[in-house]
Amino acid sequence: MTAWIDAITGTPEGARVASILAISAAFLHAVFGALQKGRHDPWISRAVIDIFYGLIALPFALFVVPWPQPHLWPILAGVMVIHIAYKLAQAQSYQRGAYTVVYPVARGTAPLFAIIAATALFGERYSPAQWSGVFLLVAAIFGLGIWNMRRLDVGRETLMPALGWAVATGGMIAVYTTYDAWGIRQAADPFTFLAWFFLLDSLFMPLVMHRRLRALPQAEWRPLALRGITGAFVAFASFGSIMLATRIDDVGRAAVLRETSTLFAALVGWLFLREKVGPVRMALMAGIAAGAVIVEFAD
């Protein structure tokens, strides 16, 4: 598998594979975000998810993939610091604001920051047409957040802090996307990076939340465990896909395609939760899709 990934990196076939991985990550990330926003505190939900994906990653890190080379350990340490900051910002935004408002703001901020960082750090170049696609996608995502905000009935007193934390979350998404892309390219085997990423990333939230986890009533553990197991597998597929996409092809393009997660979140609400879409949201969803298509296919 690693040999095949290395062989297609930087090729037209690799670009196609990376696009599929990034779009898959977008759908799965919308699911992952929704799993953290429910009747349980988002800090608790995230801690339980992290426990389960750490337990699943442990045997792979120790016994399946090659051990990290010495130069990879400080890179993985940097990964931990960045992802801790991201989790804290995300949890703060979810605590203070409605998911349908803060999620689009975070996801709309991220691709713009990420493509600028990829241009500066990796020397990636995008045509004027592709930049127009980026701005269309970002504007449509922000528009979706603003539309949901205008229809908000509760939580307006904490809206501004929530939006501030959402923008900070978007910034951290761009930072971890860029740093992780660089980190996974430093690993001889990308699956070594992924296995140790998930193992190390699973430690922080359970440690921080251990008292609250111990204080949970026994009846709460069954639904939380089901959410944790589900979230763990979704995390592996989502984050693993986007990391492999950024190793195989351009970081900025993968980051932009991943942020179509907002479109998938709206579609899930419409198709499965019977939420009303209406002409405005439909137009904004079309804008997100059109922006992604322009970035992917424009020269």
The percentage of residues in the chain with a pLDDT greater than 90, rounded to a whole number, is 42
Query: Which residue segment(s) compose the domain that 108 sits in?
Result: 2-297
Residue 273, pLDDT above cutoff 80: no
Q: How many domains does the chain have?
A: 1
Does the pLDDT at position 75 exceed 90?
yes
In the predicted structure, residue 102 carries a pLDDT above the cut 70:
yes
Q: What is the pLDDT of residue 156?
A: 62
Query: Which H, E and C letters describe the chain, residue by residue?
Result: CHHHHHHHCCCHHHHHHHHHHHHHHHHHHHHHHHHHCCCCCHHHHHHHHHHHHHHHHHHHHHHHCCCCCCCHHHHHHHHHHHHHHHHHHHHHHHHHCCHHHHHHHHHHHHHHHHHHHHHHHHCCCCCHHHHHHHHHHHHHHHHHHHHHHHCCCCCHHHHHHHHHHHHHHHHHHHHHHHHHHHHHHHCCCHHHHHHHHHHHHCCHHHHHCHHHHHCCCHHHHHHHHHHHHHHHHHHHHHHHHHHHHHHHCCHHHHHHHHCCHHHHHHHHHHHCCCCCCHHHHHHHHHHHHHHHHHHHHCC
pLDDT of residue 279: 83
| pLDDT more than 70, % of the chain | 91
Residue 36 pLDDT class (50, 70, 90 cuts): low
- pTM as predicted: 0.87
Q: Give per-residue pLDDT as tens, 159-199.
A: 788 888 988 999 999 999 999 999 999 999 999 999 999 99
Given this model, what pLDDT does residue 221 score? 87
